[in-house]
């Protein structure tokens, strides 16, 4: 099966204050409602950022959690859905750019690995570039409790200290995505191919 | 060729999604607001990248040369 054919059925929820919102249900080991958001970073260059995470309801609060480390055994399906949402977005915004990055070391590596292994399929529709920043992103280790097969386990997640980026960040280089050099990329850019 | 493939891919997905989501509850205002808050926080992280016209120009050139 083609990578993109694995996508879950997503629902385009609309645009709210310039944020494109999509929803889907991950049906791996358990059912998890997930959100994909696409929102502007810079309007001069038409750069948008894609985010995705679990829609969580705790008593009176609702939030999107993109730090959950639940392995729902469906990474391919989830990422394929995110790419379908990106393609959906490009249909009405063909000249825009999407910035993509993972906020933990594990997720960032995993996403790049999935992009690399599906590069031929994605390159049919997308121009893909890798970006390198001047600043090295600091990694913070955090303890997290996860539940697997009904049992609670402690694990350490290596999260990126993204607060540092809010103070200062400069892009050093953007290059055509090279699967052999992904360790260098702090972010990935997607653009719809010109001929499409 | 790719344009047709992309259109077919999206049409197939939209049809599948329309059937899947028919009759399911819509997102509440609170849920939509939570997504908006999350998205804006995410976008803010890279805001400083573009904090001067010189940076924007440099990035635009770097991006174009990578395509």
Radius of gyration of chain B (CA): 19
Secondary structure (3-state) at A192: strand
- In terms of Cα–Cα distance, which of A106, A12, A27 is closest to B17? A12
Q: How many CB atoms lie within 10 A of CB A175?
A: 16
Assigned fold of A3-133+175-192: Aminopeptidase (3.40.630)
Question: Is residue A105 over pLDDT 90?
Answer: no
CA gap A41, A170 in Å, rounded: 14
For Cα atoms A73, A74, A79, give the angle at the middle one, nearest 5 degrees: 145
Cβ–Cβ below 8 Å for B35 and A21:
yes
- The whole-model pTM stands at 0.89
Query: For chain B, how many structural domains are there in total?
Result: 1
Q: Which of A19, A45, A162 lies closest to B39 in CB terms?
A: A19
pLDDT at A104: 81
pLDDT at A156: 75
Minimal CA separation from B1 to chain A, in Å:
9
Q: Domain range holding B61?
A: 2-66
Cβ–Cβ below 8 Å for B38 and A166:
no
Question: Is residue A138 over pLDDT 90?
Answer: no
pLDDT at B51: 84
pLDDT at A163: 64
Answer yes or no: are the C-beta atoms of A148 and B37 closer than 8 Å. no
Contacts of A31 in chain B (CB under 8 A): none
Q: Dump pLDDT digits (tens) for A43-52.
A: 888 999 999 9
Q: What values do phi and psi take at A147, rounded to 5?
A: -110, 120
Q: Dump pLDDT digits (tens) for A3-32.
A: 999 999 999 999 999 999 999 999 998 999
ipTM higher than the 0.90 cut: yes
């Amino acid at each position: 099966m083609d990578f993109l054919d694995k996508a879950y059925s997503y629902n385009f929820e609309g645009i709210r204050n310039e944020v494109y919102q999509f929803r889907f249900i991950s049906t791996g080991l358990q059912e998890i409602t997930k959100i994909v958001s696409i929102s502007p970073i810079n309007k001069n260059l038409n750069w948008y950022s894609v985010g995705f995470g679990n829609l969580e309801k705790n008593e009176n609060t609702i939030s999107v959690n993109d730090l959950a480390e639940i392995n729902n055994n469906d990474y391919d399906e989830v990422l394929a859905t995110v790419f379908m949402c990106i393609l959906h977005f490009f249909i009405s915004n063909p000249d825009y750019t999407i910035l993509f990055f993972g906020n933990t070391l594990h997720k960032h590596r995993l996403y790049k690995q999935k992009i690399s292994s599906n590069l031929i399929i994605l390159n049919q529709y997308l121009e893909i570039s890798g970006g390198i920043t001047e600043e090295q992103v600091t990694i913070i280790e955090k303890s997290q409790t996860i539940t697997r097969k009904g049992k609670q386990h402690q694990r350490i997640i290596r999260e990126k200290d993204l607060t540092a980026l809010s103070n200062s960040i400069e892009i050093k280089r953007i290059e055509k995505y090279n699967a052999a050099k992904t360790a260098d990329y702090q972010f990935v850019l997607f653009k719809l191919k010109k001929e499409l | 060729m790719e344009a047709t493939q992309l259109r077919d891919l999206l049409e197939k997905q939209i049809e599948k999604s329309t059937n899947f989501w028919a009759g399911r509850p819509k997102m509440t205002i609170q849920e939509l607001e939570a997504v908006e808050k999350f998205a804006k926080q995410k976008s803010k992280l890279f805001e400083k990248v573009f904090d001067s016209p010189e940076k924007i120009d440099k990035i635009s050139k770097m991006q174009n040369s990578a395509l």
